[in-house]
Amino acid sequence: MRSGNHARTAGRRVRRPLLAVVGAVSVSVAVLGLTLIDAPASQGRGPLASASAGALPETATPPAGVWSAAGPPATAARVPWEGGPAYYGRFAAPAAAGWTNPSFFPVGVWFESVITQADVDKDRAAGINTYVELTGTSDMALVRKNGMSAVTSAPLTGYGEETVGWLLNDEVDMWAKAGDAGWTGNHPGEGPLCVPEDRGCGFTVLRTRKERVPKGDGRMHYANYGKGVMMWERDADAAAFVNRFTDVVSSDVYWYTSASVCLDGQNFLSLPVSRCRRAANYGAVLDRQRELDVLDGRRQPIYGFVEVGWPAENDTRAIQPRQVTGAVMSSLIHEARGIIYFNHNFGGPCHSQHVLRESCGRKVRPAVAEVNRRIGQLAPVLNTQSYAHRFGPGLDTMLKHHRGSYYVFAMPGADATPGRRAFTLPRGLRTTRAEVLFENRTIPVDGEGRFTDSFAAEYSHHIYRITPLS
């Protein structure tokens, strides 16, 4: 069980800015009240971390070059990344499990149990391909037989090639806090945590966990964080959590459902309550974590974390289907390399440890299955490096090129209202129409590369395929 996104509101503290110099240019932008490293001015979405050594420098003005059917110009600015599927090639276990295949995109569910074939069938039908933590009663041979992957906190009975990584801990930044004090070995609810009790021991917890999992076995180390890294901790401590222990990382902040998140956002991030419960904030979590991740010069995949029900006992709402898909899309637009669903209802009228399998999830499951189907279909596109381009004001976008076509993923910006948006394609990219994927419609594009479309709600999103004229 997770410790929950509990509140910590005593003492308001606005985060100090993190700045990075990219070449001779240093820029920052406020998003969610954080001062973050800006993406190139050519990129129409939230801030990204600065380029690490060897990456293409990010500039305030996009390089010259004409985009065509042959592809983007060689000078086109790319969004820095860790390498996509090729990243997993450095680890024998995920590489052997097919994670280096461009057609594979990790879609995980949190803390499930696999006892019967029916369990796996339901998960696969929902588009799940990875278990992120499993109960000790789970049948690892069954997981393996079905071609599923697992990331677990310890070797489970019968484990083998299905286990691609080790989970070091969950939300240790919240329950143990930053620090090198001694750890009692307890978890929340089991007694004193740190020695002395008034000091943090989160770093000790993670070091201890790394020592306890098998070493040199070709498996990745993964941890999930929460509001500690995102809001509460000093920048240096938040960066230490992100950079010292893991090969893959994520953070969960349940913007749509958490009872305390809007107050925390206001107190720690100066985020107006009116902008709290928005899909765009899930993407901003990715930006914040990537900003921290790049500080050591080594990039790792960062996954998006989205709730599918009514997570905590003190929450007052459940996430709605379109909010789920909006949160997932915002995470993808902000370069999530995987998606994990929190699959438990500890609050609300329908408690469940298996929301996507049981009746508690019948309302949200079709939306989850559909967005996962789209992720699977577009995995070869998602697994390419993005290009930087500003399509127009009030837009949050991602631009990809794959096999002769351009793909534009778009949503309203974090501070924008729903409505019509105007897009302008990169210079020289000639086409007469934009195909709106999964919506059975096309939009005319004029001779200047311009088109418009509507976004009915803050969580609305569209994916356009642009096939250029030869």
Query: pTM for the whole thing?
Result: 0.89
Residue 300 C-alpha from the chain's centroid: 12
Which among 230, 332, 338 has a CA at the least distance from the CA of 288?
230
Flag whether pLDDT at 335 surpasses 80.
Answer: yes
For 72-101, what is each residue's pLDDT tens digit? 999 999 999 999 999 999 999 999 999 999
What per-residue confidence (pLDDT) applies to 23? 29
In this structure, is residue 306 part of a structural domain? Answer: yes
Q: What contacts 137, CB < 8 A, 6 or more positions away?
A: 113, 115
- Looking at every residue in the chain, the average pLDDT score rounds to 89
Which among 432, 387, 431, 430 has a CA at the least distance from the CA of 409?
387
Which among 110, 19, 82 has a CA at the least distance from the CA of 386?
82
In this structure, is residue 54 part of a structural domain? Answer: no
Instruction: DSSP for 68-109, please give it.
Output: BTTBS-TT--B---S-GGGGGGGSHHHHHTTTTSTT---EEE
Contacts 24+ apart (CB under 8 A), 149-156: 149/94, 149/97, 149/99, 149/106, 151/108, 151/220, 151/222, 153/209, 154/212, 154/213, 155/213, 155/214
Flag whether pLDDT at 30 surpasses 50.
Answer: no
Going 268 to 270 to 275 to 280, the CA torsion angle's sign is negative
Q: Which domain holds residue 226?
A: 84-382
CATH code, domain carrying 275 = 3.20.20
What per-residue confidence (pLDDT) applies to 146? 98
Q: What is the mean pLDDT of residues 157-179?
A: 98
In this structure, is residue 207 part of a structural domain? Answer: yes
Flag whether pLDDT at 284 surpasses 60.
Answer: yes
In this structure, is residue 198 part of a structural domain? Answer: yes
Flag whether pLDDT at 29 surpasses 90.
Answer: no
Q: What are phi and psi of 290, to 5 degrees?
A: -70, -35
Q: What is the mean pLDDT of residues 324-329?
A: 98
Q: Can you list the alpha helix ranges (DSSP code H) found in 213-361?
A: 227, 235-244, 261-269, 280-293, 321-333
Q: What is the mean pLDDT of residues 33-61?
A: 34
Flag whether pLDDT at 232 surpasses 60.
Answer: yes
In this structure, is residue 259 part of a structural domain? Answer: yes
Length of the chain: 470
Flag whether pLDDT at 301 surpasses 60.
Answer: yes
Give me the numbers of helices (H) and strands (E) for the chain, helices first please.
Answer: 11, 21
Tally of structural domains, the chain: 1
- Amino acid letter, residue 298: R
Which of 23-27, 314-318, 340-344 shows the lowest per-residue confidence on average (mean pLDDT)? 23-27
Flag whether pLDDT at 424 surpasses 60.
Answer: yes
In this structure, is residue 309 part of a structural domain? Answer: yes
In this structure, is residue 387 part of a structural domain? Answer: no
At 20, is the pLDDT very low, low, confident or very high (cuts 50, 70, 90)? very low
What per-residue confidence (pLDDT) applies to 64? 56
What per-residue confidence (pLDDT) applies to 65? 77
In this structure, is residue 35 part of a structural domain? Answer: no
